[in-house]
Each structure stands twice: as C-alpha cells, then as structure tokens.
Amino acid sequence: MLHLRLIVPSEQSSAVLDVLRASPAVAHVILLPDAGQAPPGDVVLCDVAREGANPILEALREMEIDKAGAIALDEAGVVLSTAADRAAHLAPGQDVDAVVWEEIEHTTGQQTRVSVTYVILMALATIIAGIGVMLDNPILVIGAMVVSPEFGPLAALCVGIVQRQTDVVRRSLVALVVGFAAAMAVTVLSTWLLTAVGLLDRSMLLDDRPLTDFIWRPDALSWVVGFLAGVAGMLSVTSARAGVLIGVLISVTTVTAAANAAVALAYGVMAEAAGSTLQLLINLVAIITAGVLTLLVQRLWWQRISPRRTTL
C-alpha cells in the first residue's frame, strides 16, 4: 500500500474526496479541515493500493492539486486492515508489478544531477576497474561495477524518452557524458601516476588477460547481455527491488569498458582503446533500448488491465 497525503484548497476538497471514494483501490480516507498551513487548505489522507495509484494521481494532477496544494506519496509499510486488504484485492494486477509513474519520474529524476558525489563515484569506480583489468582481477572489476552510479542516469533517460520529457533526457545525457568523460580522464592521470611510481606497467596491459580481455573484444553476446541487463534493471527500478539492481550492475560492461579504454589511451594502445569504447557504446545502447521497451510494455499492460478513467 501507498500512503497519500494531500493539501487541498478548501473549495476543492469535496471533488477530491469524490475521486478517492469512487476508487475501489482506496482505503482509510481522512479529512482534516483547515489543517494545511503552508500552503493553506484542507489535509486529506488515505491509503491506496499501489496497482491502483496511477488513475488517482492523474485525476488529482488534472485538478491541479499539485500546483494549488501538494501531493505526497510514501510507502505505507505494514497496514493491518480489512479495508486495505479489500482495496488491494479489488485493484487490478499485483502490487509488485505496478508502475507508479510519478514515483518513478521523481526517483529517476534525482539521478540526473551532475553532483560532486556522482562524479567522484564514477571516477573511483573507473580507477578501480582500470587497476582490475591491468591485474586481470575479476574481483576488482566486479567491485567497480557495484560502486559505479551510471545506471541512475540511464534509467532516467529511459523514463524521459517514454514520458517525452525532453528536459529529463537532456540532463540524463549530460550526466552520462560528463560522468564517463571525467572518470576516464582521471583514470588516464591515475594510470600515469601509478606507472611513474612503479605500481603499473604497460606490459601488464599487453600481457594475456584471459579473465578480462572480453572487455575490449565486443561480440553479438555483448548486445544480448546488455539488453537483458537493461530489462532486469528497469524492472528492478519500477518494482523497487534493489537486490536485482545490484546484480544488473555486476552483469554489464560499462564502467569496466570505460576504464579499459582509459588505460589503453594512457599507454597509447589504440586498438584496445577502440575496442573498449565500442564495447561501452554497445552496452549503453542495449541498456537504453531495453529500458525503453520495458517501460512501453509495462505502460501498455497496465493501460489494458487498469480500470478506465470514467470509473473515477
């Protein structure tokens, strides 16, 4: 269940209550007259089954409650109530499969900011991955994949494309370009530094690396793995399953490809740098394609099984 908290202009309270009471997915409707102070208005509280939230939120936004008042949405946690059980039963589909678009837009939208923390994490992940490929150490490579935060902007980009939000698309692309460019530049510098102090050597890159040389040798399976990871990653975002997302981060060759390209550039091994860059692009395009298609399928599915707006 989701907990919905509204601040509603007093003159619209009756209409909002009608929308909530008309939906079988809603339970525990509470009205607190004049409880809102900033902005002023009535406070309306209720619980709504996750799978029935989209039509209600759409109706509230059409009434411009988000502009004249406020709409807050939180996970309700444990709800012990026959009314809540009935609402969940009457709502279409399963809550774990439901996509609450406003929630996804808000969550992924926060991942498009080019913050200092984001750039530092990208740089650290790429440096770790660069050392991992030089040592042919898959443990370091996996660790770098988990540390890297690039899936956030990728997910936001997919949502922006599906929702036709050009600003989100633009900010996501900027975050990806800046993040990877900065991380690769720092990795080139760190490679030179570690080489200067004798911890790394060009011969390590040129030696046989059976455990990590796939990073710069893309093939058809690179696209397949990236596509499947994109589907799993988007499902983990829409269903809020963090454990699945961690597995996705480990399965795709993005930050590791960027790291291998940076290390190869640092040593002037252009063939390997080109192969790693191609691997990076293949994975990024596959993930974005899969994410967009997954969201489109989810949208079509929920439009088919959800009650029509006329029931509100």
For residue range 132-141, what is the model confidence (pLDDT) as tens digits? 999 999 889 8
Decide: residue 251, CB within 10 A, 0-12 exposed, 13-18 middle, 19+ buried.
Answer: middle
For the chain, what is the radius of gyration of the CA atoms?
A: 24
Decide: residue 244, CB within 10 A, 0-12 exposed, 13-18 middle, 19+ buried.
Answer: middle
- pLDDT given at position 147: 85
Decide: pTM greater than 0.85. Answer: no
Q: Minimal CA–CA distance to 290: which of 218, 237, 247, 217?
A: 237
Residue 267: band (very low, low, confident or very high) from pLDDT cuts 50, 70, 90: very high
Fold for 2-77+91-98, please state it. Alpha-Beta Plaits (3.30.70)
Lowest mean pLDDT among 174-178, 209-213, 256-260: 209-213
